[in-house]
Amino acid sequence: MTLLVEDLVAGYGDARVLHGVSLSVGEGEICAILGPNGAGKTTLLRALSGMVRARGRVALGGTALTGRSPDAIARHGVAHVPEGRGTFMSLTVEENLRLGAFVRRGRAAIEADLDRIHTYFPALKTRLKQAAGSLSGGEQQMLAIGRALMLRPRLLLLDEPSLGLAPLVTRELFRIVQAINAEERTTVVVVEQNAHLALGIAQQAHVLETGRIVLSGTAERIRADEQVAQSYLGYRV
C-alpha cells in the first residue's frame, strides 16, 4: 500500500529529533533511508510504527495512522523489524515466529504462513524448536524478518538489517527482502548504513541529516552521483 508521510515531527521528551519529514512510497516499492549516525533514521521508523509520539500525518493506503497505538498500527499491517532485531532469545524460533502473528486470527492461515516463511528462510525450518539465542547473527536477522512476515504486513520497516553481519550473509538477506517485496507486493522502508546494498534494491532513497531530509531521488540517481554520496553520506557508495 502507498505510504504517505507529511511534515512528521517526533522526538523524545523535550528533545525534538525529526523536524518535519515528508516522503511517499508507492505500493510495492522499496524506499531506502540513508544518513549518518544520530540523523533520526530509527526515530523515523519508530514514529511510523507508533513507538514514539509524532505530529504530522502518516497514512497507509489512505488510512491515517498518526496518533494510533503501536498495536493498532500493527493491526493495520505495519511490521517493524527494529534495530537490534527484537528477537526473544530464550523463546524458540517457532515461538518467535508465532508471536509475529499476535494481532491475527485464523489458525489455518497462520499455519500456512509458517510454511510460507520456511520457503524464504529454509534455515529456520530445521531450527524451529531451538532457542532463538542459539542462532547465528544472520539467522537471527532472518528470524526477525520472518516474524515480521507473520503479520502479513502491507508495510515492512527494516532498521539496519545488515548490522553486524558478514557481507555474504547480508547480500543473501537483501536478496530475500527483494523476493518478499516482489512476491507479496509488500511496501518496504529500509534504513541502512550500507548505502550501496540498500540502493541496489530500492527504487527511491532519502538522505536524512539531523532530522531533515536533505536529499531525495531515485536510487539510481543517488547511486550515480558520487559527489552527493561523499558529501551527504560521508563515504563512497
Ligand X SMILES: Nc1ncnc2c1ncn2[C@@H]1O[C@H](COP(=O)(O)OP(=O)(O)OP(=O)(O)O)[C@@H](O)[C@H]1O
Contact yes or no for 169/176 (Cβ under 8 A): no
* Unique residue bearing C-alpha cell 489458525: 107
Q: Residue 40 Cβ, how far from Mg ion at the closest point, in Å?
A: 8
Give the start-end residues of each E strand in 41-186. 54-60, 63-64, 78-81, 155-159
**Rg (the chain; Cα; Å):** 17
Q: Which is nearer to ligand X, 124 or 197 (CB)?
A: 197
Residue 10: which of ligand X, Mg ion, none does it interact with, CB under 5 to 8 A by kind? Answer: none
Q: Residue 40 Cβ, how far from ligand X at the closest point, in Å?
A: 4
Of 152-171, binders to Mg ion (CB under 5 A) are: none
12 binds ligand X (CB under 6 A): yes
42 binds Mg ion (CB under 5 A): yes
Q: Which three cell numbers stand for residue 140?
A: 537471527
Question: Closest CB to Mg ion belongs to which residue?
Answer: 42
| Contact track, Mg ion, 64-83, x by CB under 5 A | -------------------x
Q: Which is nearer to ligand X, 117 or 233 (CB)?
A: 233
Q: Residue 177 Cβ, how far from ligand X at the closest point, in Å?
A: 19
Q: Which is nearer to Mg ion, 102 or 235 (CB)?
A: 235
From 20-28, 38-46, 167-175, 218-226, give the range in contact with Mg ion by CB under 5 A: 38-46
Sheet holding 3-12, edge to edge: 15-25, 3-12, 54-60, 63-64
From 41-49, 57-65, 144-152, 198-206, give the range in contact with ligand X by CB under 6 A: 41-49
Q: Which residues contact 111 (CB under 8 A, 6 or more apart)?
A: none
CA distance 155 to 81: 11
Contact yes or no for 188/158 (Cβ under 8 A): yes
CA distance 51 to 73: 10
Of 73-92, binders to ligand X (CB under 6 A) are: 83
**3-state DSSP: the chain helix, strand, coil percent, rounded to 5?**
40, 25, 35
Contact yes or no for 35/233 (Cβ under 8 A): yes
Residue 37: which of ligand X, Mg ion, none does it interact with, CB under 5 to 8 A by kind? Answer: ligand X
Binding stretches for ligand X (CB under 6 A): 12, 15, 17, 35, 37-43, 83
